[in-house]
Structure formats: C-alpha cells, structure tokens
Structure 1
Amino acid sequence: MIRTPLRPLARILDARRKGENPDAIERENLRLRHEAMRDRARVRAESRLVMLSVMFFCAFAVVGVRMGVLAATEPAEPRAQAPGAAIVSGRADIVDRKGRILATNMETHSLYAHPQQMIEPARAVDELMKIFPDLDRERLTRDFTGKRKFVWVRKTLSPEQKQAVHDIGEPGLLFGPRDMRLYPNGRLASHILGGTRFGQEGVHSAEVLGSAGLERFLDTELRDPARQGRPVELSLDLTVQAAVERVLAGGMMLMNAKGAAAVLMDVDTGEVVSIASLPDFDPNSRPLPPTQGSAADSPLFNRAVQGVYELGSTFKIFAAAQAIDLGLVHPQTVIDTSPPMKVGGFRIGEFRNKNYGLQTVEEIIVNSSNRGTARLALSIGAKRQQEFLKSLGFFEPTPLEIVEAKGGAPLLPKDWTELSSVTISYGHGLSSSPLHLAAGYAAIANGGYAVKPTLLKQTGPRLGPRVMSSGAAEAAQVMLRKVVTEGTASFGEVPGYHVAGKTGTADKPKERGGGYYTDKVIATFASFFPATDPKYVLILSLDEPVETTGPVPRRTAGWTAVPVAAEMIARVAPLLGLRPDHRAKTGLVLASD
C-alpha cells in the first residue's frame, strides 16, 4: 500500500470552498517545481560549457602563438639570468686627448649550431677544423652527433671566417650578430686600456664587460646609456704614446733588460700623457694570467703602476728639498761626507767606496753621495721624513683610473727607525712604483704642490696642497739640472732642450733567502723638462739592464736608463709642442752613481 502524502488542512479546506480539485492543484505545483529545477540545471550546464570552451580556446591560442614564434625565430642558448633582464651591448668609445680612437665597437657575428638540423655533421666537423684549427675535434664531434639542441662554436668571427663557414653549406650552422670591442692600435697603451670579455650573451646580442685596466675601472660609465654616444676622453696622446713605446722597446733591447717602464706626466694637471710597460700584449686577444712563475714576469703585469721597486738615488733629492724647506741647510751648506759613518750598527758606504770629503748640499746631489744624504736625513728626523713622503703620496696606492693601481701600494718599513730613515733617504728600504716617483718629482717641478696622476683629460691645473716652499722647489730644480750638466746623468742632455733629473741604481732584492743580487739592478732616471720652465716629468726604469759595449758590463742608470730617456725626450718634446732652445748646454762629462 502506497501512502499518499498528507496535505495541509488549510489548503484542502480552501480548495473545497472554491470548488476546486485539490489533487489537480498539487500536480500543477509539482510540475512547476520540476520545470524550475530543470531550468536551473540547464543554466549551470550551459555556463560550464561556455567556461570550458573559453579555456580550450585560450590554450589552443597560446600553443598556436608559441608554435608560430618557434617557427619564425632561432632559439637562444640557454643561460642563467634573472627574469626580464636585458642584454645591454652598447659601450662608449675611448679616445685620446685629441679625439683619436683607442677603443671602439665593431659589429661581428657569432657561430652556433643546431645539431638536429645538420645534414652531414661529420663533414661539418672536418670543414670547421680547417677554418678553426684550435677547436677540439672530439668535443665538436660529440656535440654534433649527440642529443644537444644548441652548441656554441665560436663567439666572434672575422668576415673571412664567416664567409668560409657559409661556403660549407650546412643548414645547421647559423650566425648571430653581436658587437665586439676593437682596439685598432693593437698593443699601444694595452696596459691602460686593459681589455673586455662577454657577459650575458645570446645568439642575437652579447654584453661587453671590462675585464682589466681602464675598461674595468670605468665599466659602469662606459656602459651608461645616458652618455648617448659620447666617448670617454683620456689624457693620453696617441702619437706621443707610440713614440714612447717605440723608444722604450728599442732601449730595452739595446740594454739587454728583461723589462721596462716609462711615465710621462704633466707637472701641473697630473695628466698622464703617456705610460708604458714592457713586455706588453694585444688587448684584442688578451692572454690568460700565468699559472706558474712570477706574476711580475707576465706581459699582463703593469710595471709602471703595479711594480714597486727600491728606486735608489732618485730619492736623494727629497731629503735635500725637505732639509732646505725646513731651514736646516741651503744649497751651499758644507757637510762632511768622510768615512766612517755608522747608523744602528750598520756602515753607510758610497758607490765604489768613494770618499767625497767636504761637500755642499748641491754637490751631494750632483755626486750622489750616500753619506751626505744620510746626514741630511738624520738632521730631518724620522717623523718629519714620514710626514713629508706621505704628503708626496708615497704611503698609498696612486689613485689612477685602472683597477691594477690598487695593487701598487708602496712597501714601507714596519718600524721607521733611524736606520730606516737613513736608507730611505737614498732609495733603499721603501719600495714604490715609477708612477709614485713621477708624482713626487712633479711636486718639485711645479714649484712645490702635490699632484694626483690621472688618465682623464683635464681642462686646467689640478694642483693639490703645498708640500714645500717655492724656494726649496727651485733650489731642488737647480740641483737636478746640475746632475745632468755636471754629474751622473750627463748622457741625459738633449740638444735644444734643457733636462733636469736624477739617476738611481738599486740592487734587486732576492726573492728567497733575503739579501740582494750583486749583478741585477733596477736602473731609473727621474727627470723633467724643460728645466727652465718645467712642463713634463719623465720617469724611465729598466729591469736588469746590462750595457755591453765597453770592456766590462755596465748596469748603472747613467749608462743604461739615461741614454734611453734622452732619446725619448728628443722624440716627444716636439710632439708636445715644446720649441727647442738651441742655447741649451750639451753635457760632456759622464759619471756613474
């Protein structure tokens, strides 16, 4: 028996009063409820279908667009980089003080391969080995015949190499445009420019980053889009740089030296007009750092900036200038340089055991007397000597705009004793770079002001604080002029130009075991010209020179560094716009320190 659901009493009574059939009314209500439920279910189903249709359409659209992109473009090599990072390939040119290009960008091509698109991979390997003999055949074969989808073959190509690869006719070998850094002057100023490398790179562009020298020091500035193509102007003069390097290379060969360095600097602005270090390298194909031997023997080593040496008697003029500045002596003050002389238990000797006896301060510098300079140092005192040398820049790395400059920090004594003060006065016990020495001599040449060397073109003088009186500087200038006309640097006189300077010959310290070599020296000539109105300072240093034209080998700076410096001044002075003075005296006397 099926029970009929009970109807509400009120509804039954109301239907009977109106004469209606309660069952018919109930059936109609049930039908309407069912239709409403079906309508709601249909709406829900239609909404779901619309949503699914939209999702399928979007998915197919994304897949279709991606397939179109892949079909129209070449895939880039996978690389780790932040999402959204862009490859910035532009880099500003570097020019000399006259606007001549030292470093620029050149459009080239890279070579890469899609092994899965290659028809004859074995033949491609054979042909590529003919064009690029330095490639690894086994690795190339493995890459071309394996499962790799992308292979870098060469990051840069010459036009001839690109044409040769094109002639292979292999569809799986492809080219990508990119910029590369070009140094049109080859080895010229290589230690200053440094070099570049590729950073982020793809098949259509590559980021060029500085790897050494000025390229690395000014990397952010060179890559700054805000420069809008403006080049970085250096203080270097391309023509002068070429002359300096040519003479330096010839002098290094003539004097049988293992290395050489030269610094030519404006005494008022600190602008480095030329700086050279030999041996050098070509920044277009920068060699790798050495894995064995001494780093100082590498062509990458900048002897003018990184090389710190005991620079010998070139330091003596600082003791004389300071003593005069302090009022302790004047150029004609007589000092007894006779032996014996002991300081801290050590005997102070002279070159070749000479005995100069009574000498004026001027004669002490002209004859390069160790004992005379030592007595000046003792009168000055260690503390005042430290303060003076610090004011000249001998306590810190030179603030030059190359990354290697910070590695050229002077080597100072741990304890600045009375003996240290004496030995430093004649160039032993303190090691510094030729660039430090250039700044020190510039202070004498410009009348007593400190200067900071710079590689960037300046618009006017950049004199720092006064470090000595003008009278002391002028007295030092006169003494250095007499070193050339009467003393140890007589080979330094240049017809038509007045030269002033001081020689320095320092025994090289042994790398192991302590002590000094008896047959290996650093020979240096520190000079400025014209002596009557100093404009430029020139420091020239030779590593282990030997002059062999005489009956016995000669290693002193007077015989080695000085003649090379004189030839250099004769070459560059006209290029610097200096007019010759034919009243200049020619030195006739040669002496050695």
Structure 2
Amino acid sequence: MIRTPLRPLARILKAREQGQNPDAIEAENIRLRHEDDRDRDRNRAEGRLLVMGVAFFCAFIVIGARMGTLAGSVPQEPTAQASGSPIIGQRSDIVDRNGRVLATNLDTHSLYAQIPDMVDPAKAARELAGIFPELDEDELFKDFTGERRFLWIRREISPEQMQAVHDIGDPGLLFGPREMRLYPNGSVAAHILGGATYGREGVSSAEVIGVAGVEKYFDDFLRDPANEGAPLELSLDLTVQAASERVLHGGMMLMSAKGASSVLMDVHTGEILSMVSLPDFDPNDRPRVLTEADGATDQSDSPLFNRAVQGVYELGSVFKIFTIAQAVELGLIRADTMIDTKGPLTWGRFRIRDFRNYGAELTATDVIVKSSNVGTARVAMMIGAEKQREFLDSLGLLAPTPVEMVEAPTGRPLLPPNWSEISTMTISYGHGLSSSPVHLATAYSSLLNGGYRVEPTLLRQDGPRYGPRVVSERVSATARDMLRAVITRGTASFGDVEGYEVGGKTGTAEKPRPTGGYYDEKNIATFASVFPASDPRYVLIVTLDEPSVEALGEQRRTAGWTAVPVAAEMIRRVAPLLGLRPDVETLSPTGVTLTSN
C-alpha cells in the first residue's frame, strides 16, 4: 500500500510562497489518514458481523429442523450399546406362488424369574403350576428357593397366560418380548416348511432359526436384514397342497396303508406345486425325533420322515417306460416291434416272471400296457448295462435330488454295487435300484415334456427351465402314447379321469427284509401319471406304503387297485384348481330335431 506523505514538498513550497503555515498541511494529512484507517476498520468489522450473522442463522435453521423432526417422530427409549453381534429376531415370511402366507411371525412374550426379587416363592410356584399344567409345583419351588438367580419358565406365553401371571403380583416374575414363528395353516405343507426354533436368547429378544425343510435351507436368506423383509416365494400352491393332502389322507385310510406320499410337478419348469408325506405333523408343535426308548426301530416310522424326499424305494414297474423309451431312442425297437415275452427268463439262479402269462410275444407298446417284466428285461439286454446307467443318470435317477431342502442329500438313491447284466435286467422293471418319489417325478417330467431335462425346485419360476435333451420329441411323444394306452386298456384303467386325458404307469414292488430277501405281503404301490397326455402340463406321483384293500372277494395290494384310484381322485380335485378345463366331448343331438318343411 502506498501512503501519502504528511508534508508533500510541492504543497509546502507553494504554502510558503503564499505566506501560509506549512504545519497546517501536515495536520490535515494526519486527519485524513486517521479517517481512512477508521473507515477501513469499520468495513472489516461489519464484514465479520455479517459472516457471524449468516453462521448463526444457518445453525438456527439446522437446529429448528432437527427439533421439528424429533417432535414428529415416534418416541423411543434409549438403548445401551453392547459389544458383540446383535440377536436378529426378525424373520422373513414364506409365501406360496400366489402370495398366500405359509409361515410368518407373531409378537408374543416369554416368562422368566429373577429369583432374588421374588417375594413369595411358594405362592408363585403354586399359581404358575395352575396356569401351566405341564409345570411341576415342587420342581418350581425347589428352583425358586435354591441357589439359582435366573430361571426361564416359558419361552412363549399367550396374552391370556401373561395376564394370569401378571395377576400373581410377584415382582420376581418378569416378561420379555419375543417373536415366535407361526404356521397359520397347521400341518399343511409341514414337511416342506420343516419348522423353526430359538437359537441365542436374551430377556429382551431371541433369534429364530430353521430346524428342517426350507426353513433351514434358506435360513440365511430368511434372517438377512438386507432383504428388508422380502418374503421367500415358493412354487407351492396352497390350495392344491391342501386338496392333495386331504385326498391322499383319505386314500391312505381307505387302502389301510401305513404311509403315503405324492408329488405334483410342472413338467416344463420343474416346479413342485404340491408335495405330501403322510403321516405328517404340525410345525407349530413340532414333535421330537423318535428314540430307542420310544420303541422305534426305523426313523421312517416317525411323522418327521419325509417320504417324498427321504424315502428311497424300489418303485417297480414305473421304471419300464424308461427302458422302452431308451430302446426306441437308440433305434433298437419301434412302438410296434414284437418283443419275446416267453417266461420265465433265466439268468443263473435267477428267474424273471410276469404277473400272468401274456403269450409268446407282445409289441413294445403292449409290454408297457400289460407290464411285462420278461419283455422289459429282454429289451434291457439289448441296451446293455453301460448305456442303461448313462440314460438313467441323464434323467437324474442316480444322484441325490437337488430340491431346496436340507433333507434332500439324505435321499441318495441306492445303486447295485456291481451293475451286472442281471442288475440291468431287474433295474429295467424297477428292482435293484431305489429312488425317491421326487426322483421319479423329475425323470417322468424330463421324458414327457418333449425330452428336455428339468430340475426339481421349490422356488417359483417365471417360465420353462429346460436343461440338455435326453430323448427326441418323437420318442417323448411315443412314451406319452404308451402311457395313455396303459390307462385306456392296461393295468391303470381306474386312473381314467374324464376330460383330462391321463396317462400313467403302475408299479408294485415288494419291500426288502432287513435280513435279506423280500416280504410276501408288504409292498410299495406307485402310480406315476401325466396329464393331459397329449400336451403334458403336470406329472403326479402317488405312493402308498403297504396298502391293502378288499375287492371282488380278495385282498388287493397292487398299484392298479390301490395307488391308481387315489391318484385319479387327486387329479379330479386339483386339475380345476390348476386352471385346466376338462375336455368333454360334445354329444350328438338326440330327441326331437327341427327340420324344414
């Protein structure tokens, strides 16, 4: 900055010439300099005040906005932050393909005791035993007067029970918030859902974890807060599932069977629309696993056992269509090729016989229609062990099913240790290889949907999910025609449902003894069906364990008398629910006919 001199020489000389006082010039310059400094300081101060004013104004706006937000929000109690991972209580819902709830959450309370705070332990024990009959008064009093300081009494209580405990009035009895898993449809789809229980617990929260079924398989997804409560959408149709369970239960009772299962699958997507295993249970009150103390020798007797996924059985003649279809695919036979059915067929010490004498020859179609073991075994000998194994593997029959359940890996098919020629022959008609109903549904869907492999799934799909081709479209159509003939003129005549063009194959396999050999009067009856046969949409597998029904004066145990009628009734019930309209032939007009004169 350039400062003006206080005594400028030019003005001083001029002032002297004019006889003026030069000191006045200096005084005036000092005054002007002071006025400039004053103005500059004032401007600086005003700028600082302006900045401070703006800052205070902004702070006031922020504080006001925050106060307004707090005033409009729901008040909450402050919570202390504790170290360690938090307990996640929220669990996503599970819904069916139409959004109907299969599993959800319910807010409830737990009951616990802070024993040092109890006033009258004897009264509390007596009153609690009256409210909860399963509790023992003496045990409670012993716990209340012992050295324990904390005691869980009930993990879940109803509002009525909570009020009754509150009326006891003991300050040592306290309640904690809980979120329990609720299955509003009871036992419907119990084996699929599986059930849930509590994991880590605290007095103010508890984590809900899956213990079986899709609850455990998708446990991470259902507990993940990042999903923001999005439900798990299954492929099941709740209405179809409920109808299937009702029909199958009635059929099991009518046929005096000890157990039953069914699988309904979309042949193009692999979606399982219903899967039933009986006997079942209520996941709201999941039973415990059977032990030797219960007299259980086989876990398959437990209602927790999922026969559709975990139950691996020799399924019998339902396998015959695989043998004939593969032979047609390989060009070894055609549908009208004559097959030698003279029996018995001897291989070493083994004898393969038919249920009855079908004559010396049958067409390949009639081998399926009449269910000839001898004819199927001869075709299998033409195919060979290696090719047979490759084909069955391509249908998914030799590996655990990939369906989304934790029980799926336990349903591993039982294969012969040595796939010899006799194994090839017996496997061709469903003996010597054990698989589950879900395996069978997958294989039938892959064979009959045009020949594309599908994978079974419990998740809703948006469209077809085709894998590699297993047979040609021509062979797939041939197989469908053969299965339709089984209904119209074969062993499954009771399976015809008017308007729905059902095709299918029966299978009756004797149950193996634990010590070797087979039972004479215990079998697994299976009916594998497809509808409509000309344009397949769904495959239905129905299996009955040890069925027996009296008909025409004698006991009948074969699938044609047991599993087939049950499956037919199930199709009759669920097909309209699936949106399939019956194809009813129009009758020709009868009676009076209007004619022109």
TM, length-normalised to structure 2: 0.83
Deviation string 1:371-418 (CA, Å, 9 cap, x unpaired) is: 000011000000000000000011111011110011000000000000
**CA contact under 8 A between 1:344 and 1:418: conserved in structure 2?**
no
Provide the rounded CA distance (Å) in 2 between the counterparts of 1:161 and 1:344: 72
Provide the rounded CA distance (Å) in 1 between the counterparts of 2:276 and 2:166: 41
Q: 1:167 aligns to what?
A: 167
* Alignment counterpart, residue 529 of structure 1, candidates 528, 531, 542: 531
The alignment partner of 2:549 has SS state of coil
Provide the rounded CA distance (Å) in 2 between the counterparts of 1:95 and 1:207: 21
Counting only pairs closer than 5 Å after superposition, residues 164-563 of structure 1 correspond to structure 2 as: 164-292=164-292, 293=296, 294-351=298-355, 353-511=356-514, 513-563=515-565
Alignment RMSD: 1.7
Aligned-residue offset at 1:526? 0.2
**CA contact under 8 A between 2:343 and 2:354: conserved in structure 1?**
no
Deviation string 1:100-138 (CA, Å, 9 cap, x unpaired) is: 000001000000011222121111111111111112333
Provide the rounded CA distance (Å) in 2 between the counterparts of 1:441 and 1:265: 10
Provide the rounded CA distance (Å) in 1 between the counterparts of 2:89 and 2:304: 26
Q: 1:9 aligns to what?
A: none
**CA contact under 8 A between 1:505 and 1:523: conserved in structure 2?**
yes
Provide the rounded CA distance (Å) in 2 between the counterparts of 1:439 and 1:168: 59
Aligned-residue offset at 1:421? 0.2
One-letter amino acid of the structure 1 residue matched with residue 574 of structure 2: V
Counting only pairs closer than 5 Å after superposition, residues 73-112 of structure 1 correspond to structure 2 as: 83-112=83-112
One-letter amino acid of the structure 2 residue matched with residue 560 of structure 1: T
Provide the rounded CA distance (Å) in 2 between the counterparts of 1:584 and 1:299: 47
The alignment partner of 1:198 has SS state of strand
Aligned-residue offset at 1:73? 11
Provide the rounded CA distance (Å) in 1 between the counterparts of 2:115 and 2:161: 20
Q: 1:122 aligns to what?
A: 122
**CA contact under 8 A between 2:447 and 2:470: conserved in structure 1?**
no
Matched, 1:147 2:134: no
**Are residues 181 and 349 of structure 1, via their aligned partners in 2, closer, same or farther at CA, if it must alter by over 3 Å?**
same
Deviation string 1:5-45 (CA, Å, 9 cap, x unpaired) is: xxxxxxxxxxxxxxxxxxxxxxxxxxxxxxxxxxxxxxxxx
**CA contact under 8 A between 1:193 and 1:215: conserved in structure 2?**
yes
Identity of aligned residues (%): 63
Provide the rounded CA distance (Å) in 1 between the counterparts of 2:352 and 2:147: 76
The alignment partner of 2:252 has SS state of helix
**Are residues 340 and 151 of structure 1, via their aligned partners in 2, closer, same or farther at CA, if it must alter by over 3 Å?**
closer
Provide the rounded CA distance (Å) in 1 between the counterparts of 2:281 and 2:170: 36
Deviation string 1:60-111 (CA, Å, 9 cap, x unpaired) is: xxxxxxxxxxxx9999xxxxxx951210111110000000000001000000
**CA contact under 8 A between 1:444 and 1:474: conserved in structure 2?**
no
**Are residues 137 and 236 of structure 1, via their aligned partners in 2, closer, same or farther at CA, if it must alter by over 3 Å?**
same
One-letter amino acid of the structure 1 residue matched with residue 442 of structure 2: A
**CA contact under 8 A between 1:310 and 1:428: conserved in structure 2?**
yes
**CA contact under 8 A between 1:496 and 1:584: conserved in structure 2?**
no
Provide the rounded CA distance (Å) in 2 between the counterparts of 1:369 and 1:461: 35
Deviation string 1:181-203 (CA, Å, 9 cap, x unpaired) is: 10000100000000111111111
Provide the rounded CA distance (Å) in 2 between the counterparts of 1:528 and 1:171: 65
**Are residues 195 and 584 of structure 1, via their aligned partners in 2, closer, same or farther at CA, if it must alter by over 3 Å?**
farther
Q: Structure 2 stretches of 5 or more lacking a match?
A: 1-76, 588-597
One-letter amino acid of the structure 2 residue matched with residue 363 of structure 1: D
Q: 2:136 aligns to what?
A: 136
Deviation string 1:152-199 (CA, Å, 9 cap, x unpaired) is: 100001122112212222221111111011000010000000011111
One-letter amino acid of the structure 1 residue matched with residue 426 of structure 2: T
**CA contact under 8 A between 2:525 and 2:557: conserved in structure 1?**
yes
Report how many aligned residue pairs link the two structures: 506
Matched, 1:582 2:581: no
One-letter amino acid of the structure 2 residue matched with residue 309 of structure 1: Y
**CA contact under 8 A between 1:497 and 1:584: conserved in structure 2?**
no
Aligned-residue offset at 1:528? 0.7
Provide the rounded CA distance (Å) in 1 between the counterparts of 2:148 and 2:372: 73
**CA contact under 8 A between 1:498 and 1:584: conserved in structure 2?**
no
Q: Structure 1 stretches of 5 or more lacking a match?
A: 1-71, 76-81, 586-593
One-letter amino acid of the structure 2 residue matched with residue 349 of structure 1: R
**CA contact under 8 A between 2:125 and 2:138: conserved in structure 1?**
no
One-letter amino acid of the structure 1 residue matched with residue 221 of structure 2: E
**CA contact under 8 A between 1:364 and 1:373: conserved in structure 2?**
yes
| Deviating more after overlay: 398-407 vs 133-142 | 133-142
**Are residues 73 and 98 of structure 1, via their aligned partners in 2, closer, same or farther at CA, if it must alter by over 3 Å?**
closer
**CA contact under 8 A between 1:356 and 1:369: conserved in structure 2?**
no
One-letter amino acid of the structure 1 residue matched with residue 540 of structure 2: L
The alignment partner of 1:310 has SS state of coil
